[in-house]
């Protein structure tokens, strides 16, 4: 039978009898969706500006280092110093993007829809943390890897810093996890994005200022041992001390001397405690939000 072309046939409602995957699939879908959102993918052009400008800024030191290695044959930046030197940029990315990951779901009340799916509160929080952790890791790992590729290609006399590179990648994972937990936990407390951005940045400035001032004061009083502890108020030095120095025995970031002996262990404990505290706060926060 020949049908006239150009006619749309209403095929009626069709039931779905394909696969229904589990919570893991849904959680992964949420994490990918959130990660894309953090970089502004699938959103307006305007929301891509901040993340991609910051990615560009993060790449600058790697590009400059490669240029130095290629042109004046001198070693570039140390891998394990990268995060500490670029900490302000990492903090700005964390502050501007973590509210995006959590605030709209609270503000526009999408959360009840997620919870009406098989996923649990833990899955939801886990997916958001995973997305932000992945974003922070990419932000650090990409420039570090670019720098490493540059170093291998240029091949200066002397050893390639493979161990330092791998150490810095482990450090990047540590930074990503700690920063994401802190950023998402703080941002989740307000449905308003602007307030979230301000809170995260204020917290970073406070920690960094207190750490620097306390170090200066204690050092001027001649108490170098106490001054060394002051670094561990800033989360960026906590990860450097715990992962780079503590686990892999790298030299601390420039100008910094960590407390000898138990210093790295304490840094590790601080790191784990901050992560634990953030996750606990997040779960409490979302329990309350879900009961509305």
CB of 37 to other proteins, least distance (A): 9
Tokens of 269: 């404990």
Q: Which of residues 232-291 bind ligand ADP (CB under 6 A)?
A: 291
Among other proteins, ligand ADP, none, residue 26 binds (CB under 5-8 Å by kind): other proteins
* 3/46 with CB nearer other proteins: 46
# binding residues, ligand ADP (CB under 6 A): 2
Q: Does 44 bind other proteins (CB under 8 A)?
A: yes
* 122/248 with CB nearer other proteins: 122
Q: Judged by CB under 8 A, which stretch of 100-108, 128-136, 245-253, 278-286 contacts other proteins? A: 100-108
CB of 175 to other proteins, least distance (A): 29
* 281/289 with CB nearer ligand ADP: 289
Environment class of residue 151 by beta-carbon count within 10 Å: exposed (0-12), middle (13-18) or buried (19+)? buried
The answer to whether 94 and 101 have CB atoms below 8 angstroms apart is no
Q: Does 120 bind other proteins (CB under 8 A)?
A: yes
CB of 256 to other proteins, least distance (A): 42
Q: Does 33 bind other proteins (CB under 8 A)?
A: yes
- Full DSSP string of the chain: -PPPTTPPP--------S----HHHHHHHHHHHHHHHHTTTTS-THHHHHHHHHHHHHHHHHHHHHHHHHHH------GGGHHHHTHHHHHHHHHHHHHHHHHHHHHTT-HHHHHTSS--HHHHHHHHHHHHHHHHHHHHHHHHHHHHHHHHHH--SS---HHHHHHHHHHHHHHHHHHHHHHHHHHTT-S-HHHHHHHHHHHHHHHHHHHHHHHHHHHHTT-HHHHHHHGGGSHHHHHIIIIIIIIT-PPPSTT--PPSTTHHHHHHHHHHHHHHHHHHHHHHHHHHHHT-
Q: Does 23 bind other proteins (CB under 8 A)?
A: yes
Among other proteins, ligand ADP, none, residue 43 binds (CB under 5-8 Å by kind): other proteins
Q: Does 187 bind other proteins (CB under 8 A)?
A: no
Spatial distance between the Cα atoms of 165 and 213, rounded to a whole number of angstroms: 31
Q: Does 194 bind other proteins (CB under 8 A)?
A: no
Q: Does 287 bind other proteins (CB under 8 A)?
A: no
Q: Which of residues 58-77 bind other proteins (CB under 8 A)?
A: none
Q: Judged by CB under 8 A, which stretch of 17-25, 169-177, 238-246, 276-284 contacts other proteins? A: 17-25
Residues that bind other proteins (CB under 8 A): 12-16, 18-23, 25-26, 29-30, 33, 42-44, 47, 104-105, 108-110, 112-120, 290-291
Residues that bind ligand ADP (CB under 6 A): 291-292
């Amino acid at each position: 039978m020949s049908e006239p072309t150009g006619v749309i046939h209403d095929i009626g409602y069709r039931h779905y009898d394909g696969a229904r995957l589990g919570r893991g699939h849904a959680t992964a879908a949420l994490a990918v969706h959130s990660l894309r959102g953090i970089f502004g993918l699938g959103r307006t052009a305007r929301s891509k500006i901040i993340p991609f400008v910051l990615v560009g800024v993060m790449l600058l030191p790697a590009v400059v280092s490669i240029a130095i290695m290629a042109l004046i044959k001198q070693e570039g930046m140390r891998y394990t110093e990268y995060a500490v030197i670029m900490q302000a940029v990492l903090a700005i990315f964390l502050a501007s993007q973590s509210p995006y990951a959590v605030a709209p779901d609270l503000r526009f009340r999408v959360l009840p829809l997620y919870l009406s799916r098989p996923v649990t509160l833990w899955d939801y929080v886990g997916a958001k943390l995973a997305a932000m952790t992945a974003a922070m890791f990419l932000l650090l790992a990409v420039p570090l890897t670019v720098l490493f590729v540059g170093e291998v290609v240029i091949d200066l006399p002397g050893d390639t810093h493979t161990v330092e590179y791998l150490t810095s990648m482990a450090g990047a994972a540590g930074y990503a996890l700690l920063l994401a937990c802190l950023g998402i936990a703080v941002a989740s407390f307000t449905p308003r994005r602007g307030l979230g951005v301000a809170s995260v940045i204020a917290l970073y400035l406070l920690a960094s200022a207190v750490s620097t001032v306390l170090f200066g004061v204690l050092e001027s009083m001649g108490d170098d041992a106490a001054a060394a502890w002051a670094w561990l108020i800033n989360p960026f030095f906590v990860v450097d001390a715990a992962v780079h120095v503590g686990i892999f025995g790298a030299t601390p970031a420039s100008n910094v001397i960590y407390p000898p002996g138990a210093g790295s262990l304490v840094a590790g404990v601080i790191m784990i405690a901050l992560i634990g505290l953030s996750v606990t706060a997040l779960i409490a926060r979302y329990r309350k939000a879900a009961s509305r």
